[in-house]
Amino acid sequence: MYQIKTSRFHSYQGLHEILPNGEALNEFIKHIANLIEKNEFELENISTDIKKEIKILDTFFSDTIDPNQEDNKNKKDDSKNLRLLFSAALDKGYEIQILVLNPYSNAAEERVKTLQDLTPVQEINKSLYRIRQSIFSYSDGFSEEERKEKWSKGGFIAQQIQEIKKYNGKIDIKFYNQLTEMPVYIIGDILLKGLLTSFGTAANNPWLVFVNDKSHNNDTYDYLYKNFNHIWADETTNATSFQLKNGKDLDNNKFR
């Protein structure tokens, strides 16, 4: 099992290390969550003022952290590490921004062909369900097949966002339409960059770990951080609504 041997980070030119696979990524996420919880999250010789924010840019965000493995013996706790991260971060006053694909965009239709499992609407509903699990220790009690049926309904997206928005306004979700550099997970001054391929989920691929090295401007961390903020602020990103198949708008503003 991958082991992180130090609670402090130091790098040159921003790149700290490469995590070989999804198992290593999840060990890393768990380690970071524990550091945040203990107020020991710091970057040696780089920054004394860690940004209290989490920014997630993904296609569907449904399987990267705590993937649902078939041999998982504890399926009721399939969001354990995500729960640790969100719980620790929210308790410490972090704000969480999540960008996921508009399930009715062309990009979502193309991406889901690679995953060959759920529809785009089901993938987004699965993502939102796992976010609810992580912040509310929530379980709906349904079987996997019952969930797939429920997740197939676009209106359930609005219902789940309503529930997520109840958490003190610290979590915000937006939908974007065009594929970009992803997946990217920014946790304070740590940035995780996955590798999106044409043959499956990025969860199983290597992950690059960058830090916000303030002695270097316009490095990889800065580039990907600015890219996230650009998409978040872009008028083509569906910050207020996206069109559901039944022709009705899902207005995120009323859930803020």
pLDDT number for residue 71: 36
Window from 95-99, 116-120, 121-125, 217-221 with minimum mean pLDDT? 116-120
Percent of the chain past pLDDT 90, that is, above it, reads 14
pLDDT tens digit sequence for 6-46: 444 555 567 888 899 888 888 899 889 988 888 777 655 44
117, part of any domain = yes
214, part of any domain = yes
> To the nearest whole number, what is the mean pLDDT of the chain?
76
Per-residue burial over 11-40, b = 16 or more CB atoms within 10 Å of its CB, e = otherwise: beebbbeebeebebbbbbbbbbbbbbbeee
166, part of any domain = yes
Domain ranges, residue 127: 14-21+53-67+76-176+190-236
Which residues, at least 6 apart from 10, have a Cβ–Cβ distance to it below 8 Å? 16, 43, 44, 45, 46, 211
Distance of CA 56 to the CA centre of its chain: 4
Instruction: Report whether pLDDT(246) > 70.
Output: no
What separation, in Å, do the N-terminal and C-terminal C-alpha atoms of the chain show? 40
241, part of any domain = no
pLDDT tens digit sequence for 199-245: 767 778 899 999 887 777 888 889 999 999 999 998 777 644 444 44
120, part of any domain = yes
Q: How far apart are CA 213 and CA 218, in angstroms?
A: 10
pTM for the whole structure = 0.81
Structural domain count of the chain? 1
Provide the total of helices (H) and of strands (E) in the chain, helices listed first.
Answer: 7, 11
Tokens of 32: 């970071």
Q: E strand or H helix at 251, and its extent?
A: strand 249-251
198, part of any domain = yes
Window from 65-79, 109-123, 151-165 with minimum mean pLDDT? 65-79
62, part of any domain = yes
183, part of any domain = no
